[in-house]
Structure 1
Amino acid sequence: MTGTELLSVRGLVAGYGAAPVLRTIDLSIPVGTITAVVGANGAGKTTLLRTLSGLVRPSAGQIRLDGEELGRLPVEHRVRRGMAHVPEGRGVIAELTVEENLRLGGLWRRDRADVRRALDEVYQLFEPLARRRRHAGHQLSGGERQMLALGRALVARPRLLLLDEPSLGLAPRVTAQIMALLRQLRNNAGLTVLLVEQNVRSALSVADQGVVMSLGRVVIDTAAAELRDDDQLRHAYLGF
Structure 2
Amino acid sequence: MTAATESSPGPRHAAPEEPLLRIQGLTAGYGAAPVLHDVTLTVPPGAIVAVLGANGAGKTTLLRTVSGLLRPSAGTVRLSGADLARVPVEHRVRRGMAHVPEGRGVVAELTVDENLRLGGLWRTDRRDARRALDEVYALFEPLARRRGHAGHQLSGGERQMLAVGRALVARPRLLLLDEPSLGLAPRVTAQLMGLLASLRDDTGLAVLLVEQNVRSALSVADRGVVMSLGRVVRDADAAELRDDDALRHAYLGF
Q: TM-score, normalised by structure 1?
A: 0.98
Among all aligned residue pairs of Structure 1 and Structure 2, give the percentage whose two residues are the same amino acid.
Answer: 80
Which of the numbers 54, 61, 82 marks the counterpart of 2:68? Answer: 54
- Rounded Cα–Cα distance in structure 2 between residues aligned with 1:172 and 1:201: 11
CA contact (8 A) 1:57 1:72 kept: no
- Rounded Cα–Cα distance in structure 2 between residues aligned with 1:33 and 1:4: 13
Task: Kindly report which structure 2 residues correspond to 1:16-27, keeping only aligned pairs within 5 A, or say none.
Answer: 16-27=30-41
Which of the numbers 96, 100, 122 marks the counterpart of 1:82? Answer: 96
What does residue 174 of structure 1 align with?
188
- Rounded Cα–Cα distance in structure 2 between residues aligned with 1:77 and 1:157: 14
Segments of 4+ moved more than 6 angstroms: none
Q: Are 1:33 and 2:59 an aligned pair? A: no
What does residue 251 of structure 2 align with?
237
Radius of gyration: which is bigger? 2
Instruction: After TM superposition, give the deviation of residue 3 of structure 1 in Å.
Output: 4.5
Instruction: After TM superposition, give the deviation of residue 65 of structure 1 in Å.
Output: 0.1
What does residue 207 of structure 1 align with?
221
CA contact (8 A) 2:21 2:77 kept: yes
Q: Are 1:218 and 2:232 an aligned pair? A: yes
User: Which residues of structure 2 form unaligned runs of 5+?
Assistant: 1-15
Instruction: After TM superposition, give the deviation of residue 74 of structure 1 in Å.
Output: 1.1
Q: Number of paired residues?
A: 239
- Rounded Cα–Cα distance in structure 2 between residues aligned with 1:205 and 1:133: 31
> RMSD of the TM alignment (CA)?
0.9
Which of the numbers 107, 119, 137 marks the counterpart of 1:105? Answer: 119
Q: Are 1:163 and 2:174 an aligned pair? A: no
SS in 2 for 1:5: coil
Q: TM-score, normalised by structure 2?
A: 0.93
CA contact (8 A) 1:54 1:72 kept: no
User: Which residues of structure 1 form unaligned runs of 5+?
Assistant: none
Which of the numbers 90, 110, 126 marks the counterpart of 2:140? Answer: 126
Instruction: After TM superposition, give the deviation of residue 195 of structure 1 in Å.
Output: 0.2
* One-letter amino acid of the structure 1 residue matched with residue 115 of structure 2: N
* One-letter amino acid of the structure 1 residue matched with residue 65 of structure 2: T
